[in-house]
Chain A
Amino acid sequence: MATDRRAEVTWHGDLMSGSGRIDSVTSGAIGGLDVDWLARSEDAGSKTSPEELIAAAHASCFSMALSNGLAQAGHPADELKTSATVTFQAGEGITKIALTVTGKVPGMDDGAFQEAAETAKENCPVSKALAGVPDVSLTARLES
């Protein structure tokens, strides 16, 4: 079964001095988010950007994949905390994504957690879609 998710954006004016807005998405979960080039390429202020949305997509996809892997290994997670940082070089594109995860996983040893995290990083659908990023790093830590 295929699932579609849609987003709508409007833009006014040129790239450098113009501005846009993410008006709505399928679920209605976000909307009315302003975007512009200055916020994307220099100081974000409180504005989102494509790279921040990609960071959010990757962190959320990775977390689901890891929770699935841990449950299949017989150690469902109590809690996973993931952050993703996307590095954007204007003119070059996305050059790096750094994933860090801290997990509360009863009964699991560190080696098995590292392995499950690496598998989630390789296999989650967003990782596969972002396979062209030159450097995707992962730091995984178990919390007792």
Chain B
Amino acid sequence: MPRVQRSADVTWEGNVARGSGAISAATGAFDSLPYSLASRVEQPDGKTSPEELLAAAHAACYAMSLASELTGAGSPPEHLAVHATVTLGQVEDGSHRIVASELLARARVKEVDGQTLDRLAQSASEGCPFTKLIEASAQVTVNATLEGDTDGD
């Protein structure tokens, strides 16, 4: 398989407490997104943060992995909705650490029962390269429900 590279550029001006930065994707998919310490650890106020971008990366990575698992099991999904929540926590020494990434998936898929979906949802997390990486720092949890089910989220 080919090796692919993806890049992003950031400019930052000033110190951490009062400075601010701008984040751009090399593809142009997003450009000059402002961010600051306040948007990262307090109220986002319309601004993104490194952890929000990781949440988007994890949700997108996981959605592809779950689509692959379901397809492999003979049931390509009609529709998947994935929510990822990344938590930046403060640890004992006062420094910040990414402590959790929580994945919630809802699947509209034929001929798959809840138990099978649970199994595939776990495999999909293990198969998503980002899960493997972030587990160095964060606890990754996965919950999947069939669309139309009343239990769970």
Contact = CB atoms under 8 A, between A and B. Distances in A.
A68 B16 contact: yes
Contacts of B7: 52, 55, 83-86
B132 interface: yes
Contacts, number: 333
B1 to A, nearest CB: 4
B82 A64 contact: no
Nearest to A88: B4
A11 B133 contact: no
Contact of A50 (B95, B130, B136): B130
Report the contact-size class of chain A (Cβ under 8 Å from the partner). Answer: 35 or more
B10 A33 contact: no
B151 to A, nearest CB: 21
B53 A57 contact: yes
Interface in B96-114: 96-99
Query: What does DSSP make chain A's interface, helix, strand, loop or mixed?
Result: mixed
Report the contact-size class of chain B (Cβ under 8 Å from the partner). Answer: 35 or more
A11 B137 contact: no
Interface string B1-45: 111111111111111100101011111111001110101111011
A5 B83 CA distance: 10
A12 B52 contact: no
A71 B80 contact: no
A52 B133 CA distance: 15
B146 interface: no
Contacts of A84: 7-8, 10
Contacts of B42: 3
8 contacts: A9-B60, A22-B56, A42-B4, A49-B27, A53-B56, A59-B23, A68-B15, A89-B4
